[in-house]
């Protein structure tokens, strides 16, 4: 009898498992037949690695202008401006609402003339009703689109967070001609990307009261997961036909909603991890037991710690350029220390995106926030050449930018050379597990630290737990003095930070795609041999050394001290400056 009950129990579980798989897992997640969805990450253009800015409280061209002018005046770098909803007359007709964004042709041209990149928010919906657009009732427009076969079949409009509407049918040529024709209105303004918000995950219908995760397209039934892939991949590929440096900003991992990843990795030049609140951690996280964390996805509540978790999960899956809304997307006022720590963490992510609700005019916040966030904004900008190396290697199937580590809570490698241990709670104290090897604290790098130990330290608000590996070669783009890695005279040169140990090499892929330079060194008995082979570049070498060299040679010719090189005893750096006037590019440093 007992055996019979066991057999029945196993059969019931097996039946429920099969039903769950075919009802939910396969159409919504595509698992386990999911790996073929993902290819290597695209070649993200270098501009998208620089600092982003956006706001979601006012949403007008006048306010964007005020933000950009304030950031320029206070010398805070911004390369990309993200314009979120609402900006169109309806969702999604791609027609600029000129009551919000006045004289769009003139305004967008001005942004381009000032070297800004522009990314616009969009979804796959054609609305019959919109909550916050100028034209709210657009039922006739919706009915016409549905009648023409441009939308996926639906008995009634689907509800979503901006109203009600239907899904554009990516399988219909006529639908795509209509859709792309409307999009051309803003492509002609010279936009550089889309923020693809998450409506595709709502692609499902009902059989009576029961959700059914398929809809009928012009090519037949399509699952939620397949429609999501069309949305993310088709919009990215079409954008590239309009602009070879076009990008899309899409979700990678957002808590537990789509463990297989929202967008396909090969259609993910830039990712973010959804919406967080202006909180360190949620109440649920704080009160959890010592066991495994409870999944709070269904509650829709998350803070800074959730963003860190989702970014590291994204990196572990193979996404490459990932970030979050600095200080969180929504909530009440932004706590100053949270804003600072989130910006510091984002410095060591591929995406540095300062935006969302809340006061983003840093000059109207505390003096400490202004100074520290400016410093780390510039540090992130300086790291672009280093990050771009991992854009190329990831695209070729190699190393990604971020690699989560098993040892140490939320520890990860940023590239091959930086250990990052984010401060994820409102405390200056942080326990850091240094991997084996030799390390230097990046913000005070005179001391050599042995790895394989746990460091318990306090980190002041203008510093962050980041350690650089002894032996590292780090190319930088330095234009200011805020970080101590150069100054305005460094502009136009590639600064190369080197911590020599034994021998090492690093391929510097030029961020303009014009070439590559192989940087290598080897320690010898009486010095260091250093080479800059390949495409010639103006460069400043900052080579860590406890002592001043006796002489430095380039291609066999001695370099005059003070004219071509100097030694900074306080920071223990040999500094060599060369405006690309060299032959082979072989240095010899003798001690």
- Rounded Cα–Cα distance for residues 457 and 444 (Å): 13
Tokens of 327: 């200080």
- Rounded Cα–Cα distance for residues 358 and 198 (Å): 22
Which pLDDT does position 288 carry in this prediction?
Answer: 47
Q: Give me the domains of the chain, ranges plus CATH numbers.
A: 473-590 (2.60.40.1180)
Contacts of 77 (CB under 8 A, 6+ apart): 50, 51, 71, 377, 378, 381
221-240: buried (b, 16+ CB within 10 Å) or exposed (e) per residue? ebbbbbbbbbbbbbbbebbe
Handedness of CA 473, 479, 481, 487 (dihedral sign): positive
Which pLDDT does position 294 carry in this prediction?
Answer: 36
Do 516 and 560 form a contact (C-beta atoms < 8 A)? no
Q: What is the pTM of this model?
A: 0.95
Q: At CA 243, angle to CA 183 and CA 491, rounded to 5?
A: 130
Q: What is the pLDDT along the chain (591 residues), one digit of tens a residue?
A: 677 776 677 776 777 778 778 888 888 999 876 666 789 999 999 999 999 999 999 999 999 999 999 999 999 999 999 999 999 999 999 999 999 999 999 999 999 999 999 999 999 999 999 999 999 999 999 999 999 999 999 989 999 999 999 999 999 999 999 999 999 999 999 999 999 999 999 999 998 899 999 999 999 999 999 999 999 999 999 999 999 999 999 999 998 889 999 999 999 999 999 999 999 985 555 554 344 333 333 344 589 999 999 999 999 999 999 999 999 999 989 999 999 999 999 999 999 999 999 999 999 999 999 999 999 999 999 999 999 999 999 999 999 999 999 999 999 999 999 999 999 999 999 999 999 999 999 999 999 999 999 999 999 999 999 999 999 999 999 999 999 999 999 999 999 999 999 999 999 999 998 899 999 999 999 999 999 999 999 999 999 999 999 999 999 999 999 999 999 999 999 999 999 889 999 999 999
- Rounded Cα–Cα distance for residues 307 and 313 (Å): 10
- The residue behind tokens 């939320």 is 410
Which pLDDT does position 296 carry in this prediction?
Answer: 32
Scanning 291-397, the segments in alpha helix (DSSP H) are 304-317, 336-347, 367-382, 384-395
Cβ neighbours of 566 (radius 10 Å):
14
- Rounded Cα–Cα distance for residues 342 and 306 (Å): 12
What is the secondary structure of 360-372 as a DSSP string? --GGGS-HHHHHH
- Rounded Cα–Cα distance for residues 64 and 54 (Å): 8
- Report how far apart the first and last C-alpha atoms of the chain are (Å, whole number): 86
Which pLDDT does position 119 carry in this prediction?
Answer: 99
Which pLDDT does position 15 carry in this prediction?
Answer: 72
Which pLDDT does position 11 carry in this prediction?
Answer: 73
Do 119 and 92 form a contact (C-beta atoms < 8 A)? no
Do 327 and 358 form a contact (C-beta atoms < 8 A)? yes
């Amino acid at each position: 009898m007992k055996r019979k009950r066991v057999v029945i129990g196993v059969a019931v579980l097996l039946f429920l498992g099969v039903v769950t798989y075919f009802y939910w897992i396969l159409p919504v997640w595509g698992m386990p037949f999911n790996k073929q969805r993902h290819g290597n990450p695209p070649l993200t253009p270098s501009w998208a690695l620089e600092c982003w800015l956006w706001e979601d409280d006012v949403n007008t061209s006048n306010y964007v202008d005020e933000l950009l002018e304030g950031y320029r005046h206070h010398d805070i770098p911004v390369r990309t401006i993200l314009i979120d909803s609402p900006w169109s007359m309806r969702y999604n007709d791609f027609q600029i609402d000129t009551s919000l964004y006045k004289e769009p042709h003139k305004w967008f041209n001005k942004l381009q003339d000032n070297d800004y990149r522009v990314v616009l928010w969009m979804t796959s919906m054609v609305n019959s009703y919109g909550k916050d657009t100028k034209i709210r009732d657009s039922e006739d427009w919706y009915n016409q689109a549905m009648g023409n076969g441009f939308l996926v079949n639906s008995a009634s409009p689907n509800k979503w967070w901006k109203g009600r509407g239907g899904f554009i049918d990516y399988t219909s040529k006529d639908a795509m001609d209509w859709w792309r024709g409307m999009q051309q209105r803003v492509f002609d303004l010279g936009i550089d990307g889309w923020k693809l918000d998450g409506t595709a995950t709502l692609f499902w219908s009902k059989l009576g009261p029961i959700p059914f995760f398929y809809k009928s397209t012009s090519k037949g039934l399509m699952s939620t997961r397949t429609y999501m892939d069309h949305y993310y991949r088709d919009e990215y590929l079409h954008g590239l036909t309009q602009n070879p440096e076009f990008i899309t900003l899409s979700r990678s991992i957002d808590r537990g909603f789509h463990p297989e990843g929202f967008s396909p990795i090969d259609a993910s030049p830039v990712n973010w991890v959804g919406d967080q609140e202006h909180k360190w951690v949620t109440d649920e996280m704080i009160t959890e037991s010592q066991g495994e964390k409870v999944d709070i996805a269904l509650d829709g509540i998350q803070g800074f710690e959730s963003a860190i978790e989702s970014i590291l999960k994204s990196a572990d899956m193979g996404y490459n350029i990932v970030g979050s809304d600095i200080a969180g997307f929504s909530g009440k006022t932004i706590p100053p220390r949270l804003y600072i720590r989130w910006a510091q963490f984002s410095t060591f992510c591929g995406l540095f995106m300062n935006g969302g609700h809340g006061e983003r005019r840093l000059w109207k916040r505390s003096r400490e926030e202004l100074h520290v966030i400016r410093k780390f904004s510039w540090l992130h900008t300086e790291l672009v050449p280093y990050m771009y190396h991992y854009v190329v290697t990831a695209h070729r199937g190699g190393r990604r930018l971020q690699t989560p580590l098993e040892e140490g809570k939320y520890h990860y490698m940023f590239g091959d050379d930086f250990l990052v241990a984010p401060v994820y709670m409102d405390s200056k104290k942080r326990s850091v597990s240094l991997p084996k090897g030799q390390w230097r604290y990046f913000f005070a790098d005179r001391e050599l630290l042995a790895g394989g130990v746990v460091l318990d330290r306090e980190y002041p608000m203008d510093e962050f737990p980041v350690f650089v590996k002894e032996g590292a070669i780090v190319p930088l783009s330095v234009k200011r003095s805020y970080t101590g890695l150069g100054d305005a005279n460094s502009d136009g040169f590639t600064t190369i930070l080197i911590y020599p140990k034994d021998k090492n090499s690093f391929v510097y892929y030029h961020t303009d795609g014009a070439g590559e330079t192989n940087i290598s060194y080897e320690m010898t008995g009486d010095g260091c041999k250093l080479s800059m082979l390949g495409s010639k570049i103006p460069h400043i070498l900052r080579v860590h050394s406890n002592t001043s060299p006796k002489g430095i040679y380039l291609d066999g010719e001695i370099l005059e001290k003070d004219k071509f090189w100097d030694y900074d005893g306080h920071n223990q750096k040999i500094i060599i400056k060369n405006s690309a006037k060299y032959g082979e590019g072989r240095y010899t440093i003798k001690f």
